[in-house]
Amino acid sequence: MAVLSHDTFLTGFDGGLRGGPLPPGVTARIPAEAARRFDVYRNNVAVSLTEALASRFPVIRRLVGDEFFRAMARVFAEAHRPQSPVLAEWGDSFPDFLAGFPPLANWPYMADVARIEYARGVAFHAADAEPLDPQLLTGADPETLILHLHPSLQVLASDHAAVSIWQQNQPGAQASPLPAAPETALILRDRAHEVPVHSIGPGDVAMLAAIQSGATLVASAEAGLAADPAHQAQALLVHLMQAGAIVMRRGHLP
Amino acid sequence: MVAMTQLPPLPGLGFKPEHFAAIRAARAPVGFFEVHAENYMGAGGLPHAQLSALRADYALSIHGVGLSIGGQRGLSVDHLQRLRRLCDRYEPESFSEHLAWSSHGADYLNDLLPLPYTPETLDLVCDHVDQVQEALGRRMLLENPATYVLFEQSSIPETEFLTEIARRTGCGLLLDVNNVFVSCTNHRTDAYGYLAAFPLDLVGEIHLGGHDAEDLPSGPLLIDSHGRAVADPVWQLYAHVIGRAGPLPSLVEWDNDLPDWAILASEAERAGAILAAGGAHGRAVA
């Protein structure tokens, strides 16, 4: 056959993967079988990407069901192919895709649940940071103390009860009535490298934002109280310490 | 280039996080573990904690699936840098990749796709292998693929193509015996004939794995699925290779439908028995 440059070959083959005609030059010992054999590649690409997405968004799969998920994942994967061989980085556009996916228009919480799942993946792979020894805090002056939070820590606000929906769709979880109010998720990798999801109130949200902006401990606690007069700064700090989420800043002691 | 340290000529297993506790509970019947490079490119967390612990006790092979060595000219510099950091961090005894492509443009396709074997693609793949070895500062192994189609434009037999890449670039080869069986069955050729033409002296590692089968009018179409035990004819081919070449580092791959650790360990023991028998003959006799 005529010489086909490798770039032309790759473009033709990829076109075939996307459902285009059998690429030029593709053959088999029995040439009539070439199309059926090429389908193995088409299928491998679609199935492997679907499985990668399903492993990243298990709650979404559970909520919509396997068959719906597979069909939806194919649509997503064709429009949003991975841009890197590191598949853990794939799927950041999946929540927005869900928000705009017409068959899910009656399930507006779906995108926020997917945002939680994506954030959990980010937290799972986030950089390590050594938890601060609590002894180092005892003598510190809260007026000047600046805390540093673990790189995996993320706060995600939802217009829905997205945290409860996520929690109730974990293996073995019991269903219970969903809260009517919107929820905010605290996502954080713990000392056992697990990434639980907790619902936090406006005081926690404000205090965490203040800590992350570099405010002192006293100023951060005041920010929590300003957002919620009943806020318990102590409870949040205990939770963070237990999870190992208050960390050493490199080369710095409080 | 840094002199390559070697994997031990023993059985190895692909590491799966699900088996970490079992591996830590009792010494595994393996000389090394292998991981897919792309699963360890995050910054921290459980993957690196497990791999660091494993690496302290076992030899390590890092096996890439995302370089797209058979793809368009010019490998991803970002991806090469990530590989370099990973190899610098864990200092594996071996780094290997595939004679295949997996990216087109900016898109990653997550499959090992086939390429025609021509003078043009030979030059291209050699340039890419040079680029990898230079970026990593180490010799790599290149793996023969499992394929389902042929190309009219191919003008060089696969064994010759691989031999010439190794000759030009100095890379070693990873001989996937299951891939040989899958490809030769699919293309209705003789696997023993393929092995007779394969430069066994350049092989730095063997792969074994399970395959699935479909039926076509002309006979079976085998799929390299890594989701079940190694098939008997593949074990026979493997014993033939070890009988000729002597003991080689031999990895059992099982990536999908993961079995219990005990089943995986028994596959490694089966490879170990063949290696032990092969050691009685060895390269000098073969």
| SS3 track for chain A | CCCCCHHHHHHHHHHHHCCCCCCCCEECCCHHHHHHHHHHHHHHHHHHHHHHHHHHCHHHHHHHCHHHHHHHHHHHHHHCCCCCCCHHHCCCCHHHHHHCCHHHCCCCCHHHHHHHHHHHHHHHHCCCCCECCCHHHHCCCCCCCCCCECCCCEEEECCCCHHHHHHHCCCCCCCCCCCCCCCEEEECCCCCCCCCEEEECHHHHHHHHHHHCCCCHHHHHHHHHHHCCCCCHHHHHHHHHHHCCEECECCECC
Query: Residue A3: its pLDDT value, please?
Result: 66
Average pLDDT rounded to a whole number, residues A164-190 = 95
User: Is residue A251 over pLDDT 70?
Assistant: no
Which of A5, A9, A124 is the closest to B45 by Cβ?
Answer: A124
**Across the interface, do A10 and B43 touch by the CB < 8 Å criterion?**
no
Under the banding of pLDDT at 50, 70 and 90, the label for residue A19 is very high
Cα–Cα distance, A107 to B79 (Å, whole number): 38
Which of B42, B101, B111 is the closest to A88 by Cβ?
Answer: B42
Touching check for A230 and chain B: CB below 8 Å?
no
**Across the interface, do A126 and B44 touch by the CB < 8 Å criterion?**
yes
Under the banding of pLDDT at 50, 70 and 90, the label for residue A138 is confident
Touching check for A79 and chain B: CB below 8 Å?
no
**β-strands A197-200, A184-187: how paired?**
antiparallel
- Give the ipTM: 0.94
Query: Residue A1: its pLDDT value, please?
Result: 56
Q: Are A152 and A189 in contact (CB under 8 A)?
A: yes
For the stretch A65-111, pLDDT in tens is: 999 999 999 999 999 999 999 999 999 999 999 999 999 999 999 99
Quote the tokens at residue A1: 């056959």
Place of tokens 């939070």: A149
Please state, as a whole number, how many other Cβ atoms lie within 10 Å of the Cβ of residue A183.
26
Query: Residue A169: its pLDDT value, please?
Result: 97
Under the banding of pLDDT at 50, 70 and 90, the label for residue A4 is confident
**Across the interface, do B42 and A1 touch by the CB < 8 Å criterion?**
no
**Across the interface, do A29 and B187 touch by the CB < 8 Å criterion?**
yes
State the architecture of A129-254 in CATH terms. Alpha-Beta Complex (3.90)
Q: Which residue of B has its CA nearest to A5?
A: B120
Q: Which of A101, A109, A57 is nearest to A79 (CA)?
A: A101
**Across the interface, do B188 and A49 touch by the CB < 8 Å criterion?**
no
Query: Residue B278: its pLDDT value, please?
Result: 83
Q: Which residues of B touch A7 (CB under 8 A)?
A: 72-73
Cα–Cα distance, B265 to A227 (Å, whole number): 56
Tell me the sheet residues that pair with B215: B220
Q: What share of chain B is helix, strand, coil (3-state, %, to 5)?
A: 45, 20, 35
Q: Are B165 and B142 in contact (CB under 8 A)?
A: yes
**Across the interface, do A128 and B45 touch by the CB < 8 Å criterion?**
yes
Average pLDDT rounded to a whole number, residues A60-68 = 98
Q: Are B134 and B170 in contact (CB under 8 A)?
A: no
Touching check for A87 and chain B: CB below 8 Å?
yes
Q: How far is CA A27 from the centre of its chain?
A: 42
Q: How far is B284 from chain A (nearest CA, A)?
A: 38
Query: Residue B243: its pLDDT value, please?
Result: 96
Q: What is the pLDDT along chain B (286 residues), one digit of tens a residue?
A: 444 569 999 999 999 999 999 999 999 999 999 999 999 999 999 999 999 999 999 999 999 999 999 999 999 999 999 999 999 999 999 999 999 999 999 999 999 999 999 999 999 999 999 999 999 999 999 999 999 999 999 999 999 999 999 999 999 999 999 999 999 999 999 999 999 999 999 999 999 999 999 999 999 999 999 999 999 999 999 999 999 999 999 999 999 999 999 999 999 999 999 999 986 654 443 3
Cα–Cα distance, B214 to B212 (Å, whole number): 7
Q: Are A125 and B47 in contact (CB under 8 A)?
A: yes
**Across the interface, do B46 and A193 touch by the CB < 8 Å criterion?**
yes
Residues 34 through 73 of chain A touching chain B, CB cutoff 8 Å: 34, 36-38, 40-41, 44-45, 48-49, 52
**Across the interface, do B151 and A124 touch by the CB < 8 Å criterion?**
no
**Across the interface, do B153 and A37 touch by the CB < 8 Å criterion?**
no
Average pLDDT rounded to a whole number, residues A203-226 = 97
User: Is residue A254 over pLDDT 70?
Assistant: no
Q: Residue B280 carries which DSSP code?
A: T
Indicate where chain A has its CATH 3.90.930 domain(s).
Answer: 129-254
Which of B109, B118, B186 is the closest to A17 by Cβ?
Answer: B109
Which of B38, B114, B153 is the closest to A85 by Cβ?
Answer: B38
User: Is residue A252 over pLDDT 50?
Assistant: no
Cα–Cα distance, B245 to B181 (Å, whole number): 18
Query: Residue A253: its pLDDT value, please?
Result: 46
Q: Residue B2 carries which DSSP code?
A: B
